[in-house]
Chains A and B, each alone.
Chain A
Amino acid sequence: MKAKNKLLAMLLAILLLVCSCSSALAVDEGFASTYTYNYDYWSDIRESPDAYRVVDVLYGKDIAPVQDNGEDGALNAPQSMFVQGQDLYVVDSGNNRILQLTRDQATGKFSLVREIKEFTATDGTAITTFSNPTDVSVDVAGNIYIADNKNERIVKLDKDLNLLMVITKPDDTTFDQNLSFLPNKLVVDTTGRVFTLATMVNKGVVKFESDGTFTGYVGANKVSYSLYDYIWKTFFMTKEQRAQQESFVPTEYCNIYMDEDSFIYATNISFSEYDLLWDVAQPIRRLNAVGNDILIKNDHYPPIGDLYWEEGSQDYHGPSKFVDITVLENDIYVGLDRTRGRIFGYDSQGIMLWAFGNQGSSEGTFNNNGAIALDHMGRDLLVLDQRRGCITVFAPTEYGNLIYDAIGDYSNGKFEESAAKWELVLDRNANYNLAFIGIGRALMREDTYESYIEAMDYFKMAQDRDNYGRAFQLFRKIWVERNIGWMMIVLVVIIVIPLVLKQIKKRKMEVEAYERNQVAK
């Protein structure tokens, strides 16, 4: 088995070498190959085949019409994107408009549907244009929700852009009335409830019912401060200095996303670096209705993006900061890291699927701190670069698709098919732990002595102690059942025979003692 594996690994290595040579020779598709990797059990980086490739880069000037002031349609500091079906909404904040694009299913090209710049109001709302819109969301019925940041409101429009509802500052004591209501991000659930993140509101996600009434907050962040701050503030500051400083407050979330089951995924980018690895910072959270984090973390490290970084906050330093998150099929979630312009995919168990992307100026990379929004259309990923004003479209490669398929098959109960796909993944990347685990789990379902042994091998290769333990217990049960015969014999030999011998010896002694007595008499 081991020798076979070694041979296989060697063959694979040769195959990889040949492949890499031939791909270098092959005609390039015109886009830079992205650098894809994953972390292994020892938290070392393992290079992997590309999970995603760039298929298209959309620039505003190519898709949007010329503007009123004569400038071309280039995006100006866009903030956000929203995808519904084949439709893509781009929030072009600097130009105070929202672009609705649609993707042709056959060619995969995007084209403009309309430019949303104003709406019609029949209730006498004065301002019918937007000022620095920051986010958009569309519900099942096609109603459009827009976070109109500088106008301090959220507007709900029907699909023909007629005003249905305006949400303004909540008239509630829990909302600080000195504060302007500046909605930044918003999501809408299936019943039309609106969840929004507003600037300077640190009590969590602001929640509005479908009729626009404010009903409180969801999932407040915990207060976080560093030990240094605490000591400095408590022991070395005068009372006056302390009063001038802000008190420790919980941090705001950075972005939110609502998955198909109406769970809110929230990301958080303000935390101290050292809180990350011990999973105190929890940069990605899945909030349930009560606001508790129910994200599953079954890997050796929490989903925090890169595991190693240089300290500091300059370019390329510091931990990964997820500015946006999107959730694909089977609860696979993908986070966009602003620090290094990287994209991290995790499965529902919190195990990293792949990471790719980088900072740079070629296609498929993002400007320094430019990556701002991420969404998905089917399995394709769309990334909005704020600084360059473009949307990069990534499509999964064969390898990327195999991973999705294998996960999908497993969660649909098709274990054999799933294992077959994991085998194909292993052909392409022999360092992929999840594939070993997937095959091992399928083997365990065969429920035979040999399959357990093989499953144990696979789990061991993936360093998966939990599953190994489970397979081992089942294997041990069968082993004991098979070998109970001679084990009993050995037990008898070890315990009973010495007892018998002891008895014999005792009798002998008694007899001898008796005889001696007789002689003495």
Chain B
Amino acid sequence: MSATKLQSNAASARKEKWQRYIESVKYAKYVIFHPFDGFWDLVHEKKGSVAAATTFLVLFLITHVVKLMYTNFQFIAAPLQYVNVLEQALSLLLPFMILCLANWSLTTLFDGKGRFRDIYIAMCYALVPFVFIQLPLVFISNIIAFDEAAFYTVLMSVSVVWSVALVFTGLMEVHDYSPGKTLTFLVFTIVGALIIIFLVLVFFSLLSDALSFFISLYREIAFRLY
């Protein structure tokens, strides 16, 4: 094979990859309006991609931050002087990942069909309505007055309810669960996430204790020797 052909092969592979990414992003539109069908195909027909899912997750974090920073003060009560953008983003990202992890750890024991990758993709796609309603709302909040707050709050709750509903259907389709079982496992997932947080905290506190023990041991010996 000639060098040019190899190159063109690589180029076409890149192009194909890019096209697949674009398509999987575009597929979000179908998912949010046809959740049952959409989530099934997303995972089982490989219509979704991790790259697209991560895009939505990043957009979700950006939305949260932008909302805090640029929503008109009539509609948000954030002490802006104390807001740390990174902290805010992490405060959503970490629980999100822990919840995904907790869900995977539990459902994998109770014949859930979804792998961690599938759960991650489904969860990220479920965030799409949140992003695409709340981002414009940030702008809208700057052109409406406090009297017209009903408009704002209704759209706000629509975005949240929609996303939560998608999380529910997403998990149902990914694991091939019944609605009742999904609901049960949603509750267990939250409990599981709390246990994970607890274990992590215990681990780190023990680790710091052990470290400080060795450090003080070293200091003691160093002090005796000199």
Contacts of A473 in B (CB 8 A): 145, 147
Contact with A along B68-81 (1 / 0, CB 8 A): 00000110010100
Q: How large is the interface on A (under 10, 10 to 19, 20 to 34, 35 or more residues)?
A: 10 to 19
Q: Determine the chain B residues whose CB is within 8 A of the CB of A465 once the complex forms.
A: 73-74, 146
The A446-495 residues at the B interface (CB cut-off 8 A) are 460, 463, 465-466, 468-470, 472-473, 476
Q: How far is the CA of A472 from the CA of B149 in the complex (A)?
A: 13
Kindly state whether residue B109 has any CB partner on chain A within 8 Å: no
Which single member of B77, B79, B143, B146 contacts A468 (CB below 8 Å)?
B146
With both chains docked as a complex, state the minimum distance between the C-beta of B80 and any C-beta of chain A, in angstroms.
11
Task: Give the A-B contact count at a CB cut-off of 8 A.
Answer: 25
Closest approach, in angstroms, between the C-beta of A468 and any C-beta of chain B? 6
> Which residue in A42, A460, A470 is a CB contact (below 8 Å) of B145?
A470
Contact check, B147 vs A469: say whether CB atoms are below 8 A apart: yes
In this complex, what residue of B is CB-closest to A471? Answer: B145
Name the residue in A42, A463, A472 with the highest tally of chain B Cβ atoms < 10 Å from its Cβ. Answer: A472
Point out the residues of chain A lying under 8 angstroms from B147, CB to CB: 469-470, 473
Which residues of B57-109 are within 8 A (CB) of A? 73-74, 77, 79
Q: A41's closest neighbor in chain B, by CB? A: B77
A472 touches B145 (CB 8 A): yes
- The CA-CA distance from A472 to B146 in the complex, in Å, is 9
Contact check, B73 vs A476: say whether CB atoms are below 8 A apart: no
Residues on the A chain within 8 Å of B146, using CB: 465-466, 468-470, 472
Considering the chains assembled together, what is the distance between the CA atoms of A469 and B73 in angstroms?
10
Q: How far is the CA of A468 from the CA of B142 in the complex (A)?
A: 12
User: Which residue of chain A has the shortest Cβ distance to B142 in the bound complex?
Assistant: A472
CB distance from A515 to the nearest CB of B (A): 35
Chain B binding surface, main DSSP class: loop
Bound CA–CA A460/B80 (angstroms)? 13
CA A470 to CA B144, docked complex, whole Å: 11
Of B77, B143, B146, B147, most A-chain CB atoms within 10 Å: B146
Given contacts A469-B146, A476-B143, A42 and B79 within 8 Å (CB-CB): yes
Please report the C-alpha to C-alpha distance between residue A476 and residue B145 in the assembled complex, in whole angstroms. 9
In the bound complex, CA of A469 to CA of B74 (Å): 7
Identify the interface centre among A460, A466, A468, A469: most chain B CB within 10 Å of its CB.
A469
Contacts of A472 in B (CB 8 A): 74, 145-146
State A495–B26 Cα separation when bound (angstroms).
25
**Chain A residue at smallest Cβ distance from B75:** A465
Chain A residues closer than 8 Å to B143, beta-carbon distance: 476
Q: Which residue of B lies closest to A44 (CB)?
A: B79
- Chain B residues positioned under 8 Å from A469 (CB to CB): 74, 145-147
Nearest A residue to B82, CB-CB: A42
- Which residue from chain A places its CB closest to the CB of B143 in the assembled complex? A476
Closest chain B CB from A341 CB (angstroms): 31
| A476 cross-chain contacts in B, Cβ below 8 A | 143, 145
Nearest CB on A from B5, distance (A): 39
Interchain residue pairs A-B with the least CB separation, the first 3? A469-B146, A469-B145, A473-B145
15 A–B contacts from the bound complex (CB under 8 Å): A42-B79, A460-B73, A463-B77, A465-B146, A466-B146, A468-B73, A468-B146, A469-B145, A469-B147, A470-B146, A472-B145, A472-B146, A473-B147, A476-B143, A476-B145
- Given contacts A466-B146, A468-B73, A470-B147, list 17 more A-B pairs with CB under 8 A: A42-B79, A460-B73, A463-B73, A463-B77, A465-B73, A465-B146, A468-B74, A468-B146, A469-B74, A469-B146, A470-B145, A470-B146, A472-B145, A472-B146, A473-B145, A473-B147, A476-B143
